[in-house]
Structures are given as structure tokens and as C-alpha cells.
């Protein structure tokens, strides 16, 4: 029976990041991944004949743990990303609202965006955002639990944000970033996501991937681990954890094959983690909060087009439509396509059980409202449902997230839902993996 120092269940960014850290500590690592490719929610793959990504992803310039992981395995950020110093908000058929968000890389655009009047936001509207943001960041630091009891709509109301500023700025940001309407979005999560950017404002900008994320990022990380003696099994689901004499001793596959290790890191989604932990720890008090932490879905839709839908590949929010955030990606992530839209839909629950044909109809109607005529250009499309993949970011749930070190011998958790300050992001997943690896002496 093979014996390892550490078994990691799941080869998403959390599992891969733990894998790199432990390999650097000379641990003998086995990573077991249920899907045929590594990357989890950042994977790219072929779905019934069409190359797709698990979901439209953007790298935020202030990330530090993800770039550090990439450096360790020899990936240069500028080789896999292209940089955007502005985003677009489309509210009607007219030209988009352009928001500069890179104070160093797009100085003029950012200053004009903050200080100028526009047809959508007057200076008065912009000024109404100041007390909202100042109090938000203060509460984020001083009373996080209180802040997590508010949704973003109520918090904006409390601080006198004008309805136009709310509609044209807060709604696109909340729906665009975590695909939730503002009345379901925790104010703590909203401010918490921007907070790490404040001391690193000079790094603010957005990175778009130059290729599928498995291909340019996750597979090279996995290859690095394997080259240094780690083992990675894909297409292999862990059925259960071996719990013997109050210690986790490894995992079981296909109800019969056992792999043993001194430590097991469960680096799956919250949904899978609950499934693996409940048989042994259903009644254990330490696990009760995480068992109560609700799940949240996401739905992504990708359309292959005969020509680009938009003149630029740029992150776009469309607050009056189901297109929470999207981008044309034929010059960036999907360069083999003539035109490619990758869209995250809101609210996800509406689309989860919908036939893709029907979803496409709704997307086409909404796209027309913001001046994108897709009808004559569509070649192919796929809907990718993440039914159980996120922990809930609604108010009141942050306190239910578990830390990585469990009280059970040999058992450690990782994954974006575990406690770390970057919420459900690539940075959060990577940092959770680093924290999990630190639990192992």
C-alpha cells in the first residue's frame, strides 16, 4: 500500500498551492483530483467539442500570494496575463461608461473617472460615495461582524448614496464581482474585497488571461510538482476519508483502494468537503459552523462567434441585464476563436435549470439592450453550471468559515471557503493552500 507524507484532495488552486509549498519542504505529496484536468474552478477544457473555461476570470493587481506561487514554479505573470487599466459599464445602447481603476497605469482615465461629471454620474453623485466608502473601510477594520450583518443596499442607504451612484456604480460592482444583487451581498464582503487594494493602490489594475487557465497556469504548476517527485492523479474521485483511532490516516478510492499519509488536506469545494467530513464528524462541535455555512451557485455562458462582439477585449458590467460581468475574449483568452463572449449570469438561480437554448434567448435580448447584436454571429455556445461551488457571500455567513487546522489529527482543510481575507477568489484559494501547508511540521 503506497504511503505519502501528505495527500491533498482536489487540484484547484488551493490544492496546487499547498502542493507547491509542501514539495518545497521536501514532503512526498499525492494530489488526487476528481476531474480529468487540474484547475478546479479555474480550469479550461473541451466540453462536447468546444473549448471552454470554467468561468470568466480576472486577476486583481494587488494579489500577492498568487503571483508569488507563480514565481516559485517559474511562470512569469506578464507571459500569461494582459493588463487592463479600465473597465466598461454598459447601461444602454449608447457608448459605455468608462471607469479608470489604475491610478498609476491609467492616470488620466482614473482622475477623469473620479473627478469629472458624466452623463450618468454628477459630481454630487460621486461625492455621496465618500461617506459610504470611508465608513465601510472603517467598519471593515473595527467591527467586521456588524458590517457582515448588512447587505450592501441597506448599507448604501444608511450612508446616503444617491440612487444614481447606487445604480450606476454599486450595482455593477456587486453583480459584476460576485454575481449577486446588492440586497443579497454582504457589505463586509464588498468592502473586504477592495480593502487589500488600499495600501497597494499603485498596483491596481486588472489582468486578463492569455489562454485557458489550465493550460497557462494550473497544468504548469502541476507539472512543476510532478517534476520534483510529487504524484498527481486526475479523473480520480476520493470517496471517503480513513478515520482510524481518532486520526485521519488517508483516503479511500472506489470504495476499496486505500492511500495512506501522515496528513490529509481536504482542498475541495465546501460542498465536497461537507460530503467527505460528515460521515465521521456529523456530530462533532468544531465542524458545526461549516456544516451550517450555505452554498451558492454561479452560472457561466460562453458563445463562439463568427466575429468579435465588441471592439475591445475588456471587462464589462451590464447592470440592467442578466450579463453580470463579461468580456469579448477572442484577442486574449480564446485567440483561436474569431469571436468569443464569456459571460457570468445574474441571478444564477434563474438559469441553473434552464435549457441552454432558452438561456441564450434571454442573453440575446439583454445583449441587444446594451447595443450588442449577437443574432447573426453565433456559431456555438455552452452553459457551465456551478451548482454547489461557492460558499454563500450573503450577510451573516463569514463567521461560519472554518480555519485550516482542524482538531482532528492528520486532517487539514484548504479551499477558498476556509478562513482567509480574500473571499472566493484565486488569491483566497492560493492563500488557503499556503496556510494549510503551514499546519504541517
Ligand X SMILES: Cc1cc2nc3c(=O)[nH]c(=O)nc-3n(C[C@H](O)[C@H](O)[C@H](O)COP(=O)(O)OP(=O)(O)OC[C@H]3O[C@@H](n4cnc5c(N)ncnc54)[C@H](O)[C@@H]3O)c2cc1C
Q: Closer CB to ligand X, residue 87 or residue 372?
A: 87
Residue 36: Cβ within 10 Å count: 11
Q: Closer CB to ligand X, residue 59 or residue 132?
A: 59
Q: Closer CB to ligand X, residue 54 or residue 329?
A: 54
Phi first, then psi: what are they for 262, rounded to 5°? -70, -35
Closest approach, Cβ 43 to ligand X, in A, equals: 7
Closest approach, Cβ 269 to ligand X, in A, equals: 5
Q: Closer CB to ligand X, residue 304 or residue 389?
A: 389
Distance of CA 328 to the CA centre of its chain: 19
* 322 contributes a contact to ligand X by CB under 6 A: no
Strands in 323-328's sheet, in edge-to-edge order, are 97-100, 86-89, 316-317, 323-328, 339-345, 295-305, 378-391
Instruction: Candidates 20, 29, 57, 411: give the one binding ligand X (CB under 6 A).
Output: 57
Q: How far apart are CA 353 and CA 158, in angstroms?
A: 36
* 33 contributes a contact to ligand X by CB under 6 A: yes
* 429 contributes a contact to ligand X by CB under 6 A: yes
Instruction: Candidates 6, 7, 9, 241: give the one binding ligand X (CB under 6 A).
Output: 9
Residues of span 106-125 touching ligand X by CB under 6 A:
none
Q: Closer CB to ligand X, residue 39 or residue 106?
A: 39
Please count the CA atoms within 13 angstroms of the CA of 108 that sit on its side-chain side. Answer: 0
Q: Cβ(257)–Cβ(237) under 8 Å?
A: no
Among the residue ranges 53-61, 83-91, 191-199, 224-232, the one whose residues contact ligand X (CB under 6 A): 53-61
Closest approach, Cβ 268 to ligand X, in A, equals: 4
Q: How far apart are CA 29 and CA 433, in angstroms?
A: 14
Instruction: Candidates 42, 128, 174, 383: give the one binding ligand X (CB under 6 A).
Output: 42
Q: How far apart are CA 209 and CA 211, in angstroms?
A: 6
Instruction: Candidates 6, 19, 29, 40: give the one binding ligand X (CB under 6 A).
Output: 40
Residue 366: Cβ within 10 Å count: 17
* 344 contributes a contact to ligand X by CB under 6 A: yes
Q: Closer CB to ligand X, residue 66 or residue 161?
A: 66
Instruction: Candidates 8, 23, 29, 55: give the one binding ligand X (CB under 6 A).
Output: 55
Closest approach, Cβ 335 to ligand X, in A, equals: 19
Closest approach, Cβ 39 to ligand X, in A, equals: 7
Q: How far apart are CA 311 and CA 129, in angstroms?
A: 31
Among the residue ranges 78-86, 116-124, 268-276, 354-362, the one whose residues contact ligand X (CB under 6 A): 268-276
Q: Are strands 339-345 and 295-305 parallel, antiparallel or unpaired?
A: antiparallel
* 87 contributes a contact to ligand X by CB under 6 A: no
3-class SS letters over 268-299: CCHHHHHHHHHHHHCCCHHHHHHHHCCEEEEE
Residues of span 380-399 touching ligand X by CB under 6 A:
386, 389
* Residue written as grid cell 498527481: 232
* Residue written as grid cell 463579461: 326
Sorted by sequence, the CB contacts under 8 Å of residue 257 that are 6+ apart come out as none
Q: Closer CB to ligand X, residue 120 or residue 291?
A: 291
* 272 contributes a contact to ligand X by CB under 6 A: yes
* 424 contributes a contact to ligand X by CB under 6 A: yes
Closest approach, Cβ 146 to ligand X, in A, equals: 26
Instruction: Candidates 169, 180, 187, 298: give the one binding ligand X (CB under 6 A).
Output: 298
* 54 contributes a contact to ligand X by CB under 6 A: yes
Strands, E assignment, 33-150:
44-47, 50-53, 58-60, 81-84, 86-89, 97-100
Closest approach, Cβ 37 to ligand X, in A, equals: 8
Total binding residues toward ligand X, as defined by CB under 6 A:
38
Q: Cβ(280)–Cβ(406) under 8 Å?
A: no
Sorted by sequence, the CB contacts under 8 Å of residue 359 that are 6+ apart come out as 299, 301, 345, 351, 383
3-class SS letters over 387-407: EEEEECCCCCCHHHCCCCECC
Instruction: Candidates 18, 27, 58, 330: give the one binding ligand X (CB under 6 A).
Output: 58
Residues of span 224-253 touching ligand X by CB under 6 A:
237-238
**Which residues of the shown chain bind ligand X in the complex (CB under 6 A)?**
9-15, 32-35, 40-42, 54-58, 237-238, 267-269, 272, 298, 300, 344, 386, 389, 415-416, 424-429
Amino acid at each position: 500500500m503506497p504511503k505519502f507524507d501528505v495527500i491533498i484532495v482536489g487540484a484547484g488552486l488551493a490544492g496546487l498551492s499547498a502542493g507547491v509549498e509542501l514539495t518545497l519542504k521536501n514532503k512526498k505529496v499525492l494530489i488526487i483530483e476528481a476531474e480529468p484536468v487540474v484547475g478546479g474552478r479555474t480550469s479550461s477544457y473541451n466540453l462536447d467539442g468546444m473549448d471552454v473555461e470554467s468561468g470568466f476570470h480576472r486577476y486583481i493587481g494587488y494579489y500577492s500570494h498568487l503571483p508569488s506561487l507563480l514565481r516559485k514554479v517559474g511562470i512569469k505573470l506578464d507571459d500569461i496575463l494582459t493588463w487592463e487599466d479600465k473597465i466598461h459599464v454598459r447601461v444602454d445602447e449608447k457608448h459605455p461608461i468608462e471607469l479608470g481603476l489604475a491610478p498609476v497605469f491609467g492616470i488620466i482615465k482614473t482622475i477623469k473617472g473620479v473627478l469629472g461629471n458624466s452623463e450618468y454620474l454628477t459630481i454630487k453623485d460621486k461625492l455621496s460615495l465618500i461617506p459610504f466608502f470611508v465608513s465601510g473601510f472603517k467598519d471593515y477594520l473595527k467591527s467586521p461582524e456588524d458590517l457582515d450583518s448588512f447587505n450592501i443596499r441597506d448599507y448604501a442607504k444608511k450612508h446616503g448614496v444617491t440612487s444614481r451612484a447606487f445604480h450606476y456604480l454599486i450595482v455593477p460592482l456587486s453583480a459584476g464581482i460576485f454575481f449577486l444583487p446588492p440586497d443579497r451581498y454582504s457589505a463586509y464582503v464588498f468592502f473586504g474585497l477592495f480593502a487589500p487594494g488600499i495600501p497597494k493602490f499603485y498596483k491596481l489594475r486588472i489582468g486578463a488571461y492569455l489562454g485557458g487557465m489550465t493550460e497557462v497556469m494550473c497544468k504548469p504548476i502541476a507539472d512543476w510538482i510532478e517534476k520534483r517527485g510529487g504524484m498527481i492523479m486526475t479523473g480520480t474521485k476520493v470517496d471517503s476519508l480513513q478515520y482510524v483511532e481518532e486520526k485521519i490516516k488517508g483516503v479511500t478510492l472506489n470504495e476499496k483502494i486505500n492511500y495512506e499519509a501522515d496528513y490529509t488536506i481536504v482542498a475541495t469545494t465546501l460542498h465536497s468537503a461537507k460530503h467527505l467530513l460528515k460521515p465521521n464528524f456529523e456530530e462533532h462541535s468544531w465542524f458545526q459552523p461549516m456544516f451550517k455555512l450555505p452554498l451558492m451557485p454561479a452560472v457561466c455562458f460562453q458563445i463562439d462567434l463568427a466575429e468579435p462582439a465588441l471592439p475591445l477585449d475588456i471587462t464589462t458590467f451590464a447592470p440592467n441585464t442578466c450579463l453580470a460581468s463579461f468580456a469579448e475574449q477572442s484577442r486574449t483568452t480564446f485567440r483561436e476563436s474569431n469571436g468569443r463572449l464569456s459571460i457570468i449570469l445574474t441571478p444564477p438561480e434563474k438559469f441553473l435549470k434552464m435549457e441552454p437554448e432558452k438561456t441564450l434567448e434571454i442573453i440575446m435580448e439583454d445583449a441587444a439592450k446594451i447595443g450588442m447584436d449577437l443574432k447573426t454571429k453565433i456559431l456555438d455556445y455552452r452553459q457551465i453550471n456551478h451548482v454547489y461551488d461557492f460558499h454563500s457571500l450573503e450577510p451573516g455567513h463569514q463567521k461560519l468559515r472554518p480555519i485550516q487546522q482542524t482538531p482532528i489529527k492528520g486532517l487539514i482543510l484548504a479551499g477558498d471557503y476556509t478562513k482567509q481575507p480574500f473571499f472566493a477568489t484565486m488569491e483566497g484559494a492560493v492563500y488557503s493552500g499556503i496556510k494549510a501547508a503551514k499546519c504541517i511540521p
